[in-house]
């Protein structure tokens, strides 16, 4: 009852009991009146009128993202949505009708911006309280709904997302600024499975991170369940004109301005070895069966291919990885031409047959004959050979086949090929979305790790990396395997660069016969390799 700063006991001392009681009641009523005045000055939830980009999408959606420039009203939209959800029809029986997560770069950022800030949840519902108990911080609604507040700045934060329990809704504030983005997103997504809708909302100023790029591209697909609202600073008419003019003057025409003011998602992933500009600038075209590209003077130059290979990065179905299958040709101009990306998830028999059929039939439309199949030897060399022997026998053909041994890390293998792209000596024929997505979003590990020799070593290294990196998709490199890139790198390296950069050509060099009595593989080797092979065989 301290709204006026006066305690009834201070002014009723010495009065008769009945008078003191009356005065106490008077000041109590006065205090209640002051509280009502204070309540009337609170933001009225019904008074908030959202702009078009702040209105949640209709229909059945899984993820709604508000991607826009500074001041576009992203946080306001996310806060309004989560408040409406938490006071709406229950998703869960019991004392807590809704269980949610509100996340941001750090716990402090979440409380300051998403809860207590001028666009936070409390701006839409002043009855929401923040409480910390047993080391956990929650936003609590009067109806019992609660949202766990979490940051994503450390591996320990990722572990907290894993242990946060199941939810019916998740909100991410400044998604692209969360350091351990991949880890926290995956655990939040896996745990968001209560109730009838199970929805995730994020607000962010666009910054190119692998996850953000993936969400942006998947939103363009039908039935992906992902809807993105885009807005610029100018889509919020309530921002002061003088402030907007100052920001525009300072950042107009800059990359930072495109990202922070206009809300553009730029093409480059920080740390990726390629960007779309490198690929787009030198893209070749196919017209009536002829490949052509622009030469240095801007003229159209037809291309004659001298050698074409199908390069395979095998997968054995143990971790759900794709098989990288990329067709690459070497032109008479000394350039490489990426003709097709046939990569997919497939069992060994399936990818072996696909590689054999591609060698036999070529690429429909412009290449009718291939020269060789390349396969990565690492850890599974004999199995790769057996797969291709089986495919050759099934197809009844003889397949020239080479095993390449990748004895250095993925970054070191890729960098010479990246240099060829920078020299404008590699051209994609048409658009190869799957391959190009990998190239522009894969971030190699910081170290130039050598490939492990055994599957157990690979598994152990993978587990250690996962524990060490804990989902940090920007700082520590991508956790997924770049199968398409591996196939691309092996093919271009074999065609244009010194073969010793990726490993020696050994007994696997030769022809895999599809019928009994094929050619002796050693007899097909160049003289210096035949001598080296004979010496190796004598030494056992």
| Whole-number Å distance between alpha carbons of 70 and 67 | 10
Answer for the pair 336, 427: CB distance below 8 angstroms, yes or no.
yes
Query: Alpha-carbon torsion 80, 84, 85, 87, what sign?
Result: positive
Mean pLDDT of 404-414: 78
C-alpha neighbours within 13 Å on the C-beta side of residue 279: 19
Task: For the chain, give the mean pLDDT.
Answer: 80
pLDDT tens for each residue of 250-291: 777 666 677 778 888 776 776 788 987 888 889 998 877 789
Mean pLDDT of 440-459: 54
| Whole-number Å distance between alpha carbons of 445 and 443 | 7
> Pick the residue with more confidence: 130 or 346?
130
pLDDT tens for each residue of 451-467: 333 444 444 444 444 44
pLDDT of residue 316: 63
Give the list of residues 6+ apart from residue 64 with CB closer than 8 angstroms, or none.
56, 57, 81, 199, 200, 201, 202, 227, 228, 229
Give which of 201, 462, 450, 499 is closest to 330, Cα–Cα.
499
Predicted confidence band at 297 (pLDDT cuts at 50, 70, 90)?
A: confident
| Whole-number Å distance between alpha carbons of 99 and 139 | 10
pLDDT tens for each residue of 375-389: 887 656 678 888 999
pLDDT exceeds 70 at position 5 = no
pLDDT tens for each residue of 13-32: 555 667 777 777 777 777 76
pLDDT of residue 38: 57
The tokens describing 396, both together, are 């009844």
> Pick the residue with more confidence: 535 or 371?
371
- State the DSSP string of 212-249: HHHHHHHTTSTT-SEEEEEE-GGG-TTS-HHHHHHHHH
Helix axis angle for 181-191 and 210-218, nearest 10°, is 50
| Whole-number Å distance between alpha carbons of 326 and 278 | 19
> Pick the residue with more confidence: 516 or 374?
374
Specify the DSSP element, H or E, that contains 131. strand 129-133
Q: Lay out the sheet containing 290-294: strands in order across.
A: 285-287, 290-294, 300-302
Mean pLDDT of 290-297: 84
Mean pLDDT of 410-416: 86
pLDDT tens for each residue of 480-502: 678 899 999 999 999 998 543 33
pLDDT exceeds 70 at position 110 = yes
| Whole-number Å distance between alpha carbons of 51 and 55 | 7
pLDDT of residue 194: 93
pLDDT tens for each residue of 40-87: 555 555 567 898 999 999 989 999 999 988 888 999 999 999 999 999
The tokens describing 212, both together, are 């953000």
Could you tell me what percentage of the chain is helix, strand and coil, using 3-state DSSP and rounding each to the nearest 5? 40, 20, 40
pLDDT of residue 467: 46
pLDDT tens for each residue of 224-244: 999 999 998 888 888 888 888
pLDDT of residue 85: 95
pLDDT of residue 144: 94
């Amino acid at each position: 009852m301290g709204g006026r700063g006066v305690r009834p006991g201070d002014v009723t001392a010495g009065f008769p009991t009945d008078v003191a009681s009356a005065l106490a009641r008077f000041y109590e009523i006065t205090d209640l009146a002051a509280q009502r005045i204070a309540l009337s000055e609170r933001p009225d939830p019904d008074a908030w009128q959202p702009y078009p980009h702040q209105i949640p999408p209709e229909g059945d959606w899984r993820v709604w993202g508000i991607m826009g420039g500074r001041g576009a009203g992203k946080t306001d939209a996310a806060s309004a949505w989560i408040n409406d959800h938490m006071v709406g029809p229950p998703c869960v029986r019991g004392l807590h009708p809704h269980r949610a997560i509100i996340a941001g770069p750090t716990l402090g950022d979440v409380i300051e911006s998403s809860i207590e800030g001028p666009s936070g949840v409390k701006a839409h519902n002043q009855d929401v309280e923040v409480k910390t108990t047993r080391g956990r911080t929650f936003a609590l609604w009067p109806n019992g709904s609660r949202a766990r507040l979490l940051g994503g700045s450390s591996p320990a934060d990722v572990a907290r997302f894993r242990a946060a329990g199941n939810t019916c809704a998740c909100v991410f504030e400044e998604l692209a600024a969360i350091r351990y983005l991949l880890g926290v997103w995956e655990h939040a997504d896996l745990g968001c499975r209560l109730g009838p809708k199970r929805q995730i909302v994020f607000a962010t100023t666009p910054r190119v991170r692998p996850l953000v790029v993936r969400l942006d591209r998947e939103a363009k697909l039908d039935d992906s369940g992902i809807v993105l609202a885009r807005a610029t600073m100018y889509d919020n008419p309530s921002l002061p004109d003088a402030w907007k003019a100052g920001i525009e003057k300072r950042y107009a025409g800059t990359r930072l301005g495109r990202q922070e003011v206009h809300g553009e998602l730029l093409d480059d992933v920080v740390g990726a070895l390629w960007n779309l500009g490198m690929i787009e600038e030198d893209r070749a075209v196919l017209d009536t069966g002829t490949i052509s590209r622009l030469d240095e003077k801007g003229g159209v130059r037809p291309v004659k291919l001298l050698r074409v290979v199908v390069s395979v990065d095998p997968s054995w179905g143990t971790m759900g990885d794709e098989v990288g299958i990329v067709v690459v040709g070497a032109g008479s101009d000394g350039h490489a031409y990426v003709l097709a990306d046939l990569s997919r998830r497939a069992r060994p028999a399936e990818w072996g047959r696909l590689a054999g059929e591609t060698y036999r039939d070529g690429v429909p439309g412009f290449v009718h004959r291939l020269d060789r199949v390349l396969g990565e030897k690492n850890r599974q060399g004999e199995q790769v050979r057996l797969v291709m022997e089986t495919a050759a026998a099934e197809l009844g053909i003889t397949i020239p086949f080479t095993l390449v041994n990748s004895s250095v890390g993925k970054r070191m293998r890729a960098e010479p090929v990246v240099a060829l792209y920078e020299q404008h000596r590699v051209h994609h024929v048409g658009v190869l979305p799957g391959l190009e997505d990998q190239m522009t979003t894969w971030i190699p590990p910081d170290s130039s790790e050598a490939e492990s020799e055994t599957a157990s070593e690979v598994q152990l290294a993978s587990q250690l990396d996962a524990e060490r990196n804990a989902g940090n998709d920007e700082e520590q490199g991508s956790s997924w395997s770049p199968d398409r890139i591996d196939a691309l790198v092996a093919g271009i390296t074999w065609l244009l660069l010194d073969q010793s950069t990726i490993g020696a050509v050994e007994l696997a060099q030769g022809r895999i016969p599809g019928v009994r009595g094929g050619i002796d593989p050693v007899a097909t080797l160049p003289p210096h390799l035949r001598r080296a092979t004979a010496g190796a065989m004598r030494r056992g």
